[in-house]
Copies of this chain bind each other. A is one copy, B any other.
Amino acid sequence: MKSPHCILLAHGSRDSRWCETFESGLESIKTLLQHPSSLAYMEMATPRLEQVIEQQYEAGTRVFEILPLFFAAGRHLLIDVPEQLDLLRHRWSDVTITLHEPLGKEPEFWTFVGDMLNEKIPVLTPTD
């Protein structure tokens, strides 16, 4: 039985306020998560994806599950990240890395957006 390590992969930004939203977001759900989980950035902020994987690999983790906190897949998720992961798989033959779909590919995500929109912007009654 190999316990996975989950990585929430965000794009990254030079703006620390941007990164802070992800950091406090993950912190807020840490007790909810069933697996050890880390945040990693693709670029412009640290820790980078390969740094997190390397550090966890050295600590004994062999199974990685990456959930991209991206709405959609463009060049980054279609080309850059898969290439990066292939290099890591080549480096360590005993590692299993799964790159999940970005959030926008999940029907549940859009239901969540619809519910949030309905909640934030209530329907006015004729007396409003």
| A interface, CB within 8 angstroms of B | 1-4, 6, 8, 10, 13, 15, 17-22, 25-26, 28-29, 32-35, 37, 65, 67, 69, 71-75, 78, 100, 102-118, 120-124, 126, 128
Contact partners of A4 in chain B: CB under 8 A: 121
Whole-angstrom CA separation of A84 from B100 in the bound complex: 35
Protomer copies:
2
Tell which of B2, B22, B109, B122 touches A104, judged by Cβ atoms closer than 8 Å: B22
Known A1-B126, A35-B123, A74-B13; contact A25-B117, beta-carbon cutoff 8 A: no
Q: Which residues of B contact A26 (CB under 8 A)?
A: 110
Some 29 contacts from A to B, beta carbons below 8 A apart, are A1-B126, A6-B121, A8-B117, A13-B72, A13-B74, A15-B74, A17-B72, A17-B73, A20-B72, A21-B71, A21-B72, A21-B102, A25-B109, A26-B110, A28-B107, A33-B114, A33-B117, A33-B118, A34-B117, A34-B118, A34-B121, A35-B121, A65-B121, A67-B120, A69-B71, A100-B120, A103-B116, A106-B116, A108-B112
